[in-house]
Amino acid sequence: MKKIIYITLVVVLTGFILFVYNEFNGNPISKYFSEHTLKKYLSEKYPEKELRINEGTYNFKFKEYAYRVVEIGTVDAEKEQNEYEFTVRGFIMPKVNRDGIRESMLDQEVMDRLGAEGGTELSKLLKPKVPAVKEVEVNVEVLKGQLDTNAPWSKDLPFDRPIQIYILLHANQMNKEEVYQAAQTIQKTLNDEGYSYESNINANQFGRTGREAEHGALKYAVYFEKDTKIKLGDVEEYNQ
């Protein structure tokens, strides 16, 4: 009997140690699949470039692998080889989450201007429907040369990724059910107007002075896309 208990304890302890190690360091299997995914992604996305993948590191906070990818035969202003950061997330079917080469080709000036114009448009659209809307931010990705530098904002511009919409609610008097209803109203409004988007709502509790008066403390959050069937359980609670 004692032997069985001892073996059971050893198995449980070993399993716990392996679980902790896996959480903080990843494991050889997930690392292999993430690197394989990145190699395939690079060969399909950038076949004209000669690229070398450096050793990956595991980020336990985001549960992803980060890689430095070097472009062979190129140098930057400091005469060092061009390096780009890539991240791969997921175990069963890992996907490239960050593409440093694409990021280097983004037109930040055009993106900032279009984002500001889009935020203004959406604020005017959403505030009459949901009075608790305090702030709307829009982020879009535009590659250099993809659009005319003076192109005015339009939701119908040929973005190759959905519009990212961040919405801040003044939620001092709101409960979880009311935030859920607000999210449904916002989703319906965006869908009725024909937006292609991914949206994150933060519903904050605001104070009277200092940082809490300006930024507030996170109370509820909910993420949804155009086709998401939002449920009450999708609304996450914080600082309750």
For 197-207, how does the pLDDT look when each residue is reduced to its tens digit (9 = 90+)?
Answer: 999 999 999 87
CA 201 vs. chain centroid, Å, equals: 13
Coil vs helix vs strand at 97: strand
Separation CA 240–CA 205 (nearest Å): 11
Give the residue-averaged pLDDT of 163-178.
Answer: 96
Alpha carbons 203 and 218: distance in angstroms, whole number: 6
Residues 6+ apart with CB under 8 A from 180: 222, 230, 232, 234, 235
Beta carbons of 229 and 223 less than 8 angstroms apart: no
Confidence of residue 78 (pLDDT cuts 50, 70, 90): low
Q: Are strands 163-170 and 197-205 parallel, antiparallel or unpaired?
A: parallel
Report d(CA 165, CA 159) in Å as an integer: 14
Give the per-residue pLDDT at 61: 79
Cα dist from 3 to 7, 16, 17, whole Å: 6, 20, 21
Q: pLDDT tens across 10-69, in order?
A: 444 444 443 444 444 457 788 888 999 999 999 999 999 999 999 888 987 778 999 999
Parse the chain into domains and list their residue ranges: 7-104, 108-237
Q: In the prediction, which pLDDT does 2 show?
A: 56
On the question of pLDDT at 107 being above 90, the answer is yes
pLDDT digits (tens, 9 = 90+) for 111-121: 999 999 999 99
Q: Which residues share a beta bridge with 87?
A: 66, 98
Quick one: pLDDT at residue 60? 77
Average pLDDT score, the chain: 87
108-237 is a CATH 2.60.60 domain: no
The share of the chain scoring above pLDDT 70, in percent, equals 83
Q: In what order do the strands lie in the sheet with 217-225?
A: 133-139, 163-170, 197-205, 217-225, 236-237
More confident residue, 24 or 149: 149
Indicate if the pLDDT at residue 95 is higher than 70.
Answer: yes
Cα 86 from chain centroid (whole Å): 14
Which residue stretches of the chain are H helix? 2-25, 28-45, 100-104, 108-126, 176-192, 210-214
pLDDT above 90 coverage of the chain, percent: 69
Reported as a pLDDT band with limits 50, 70 and 90, residue 196 is very high
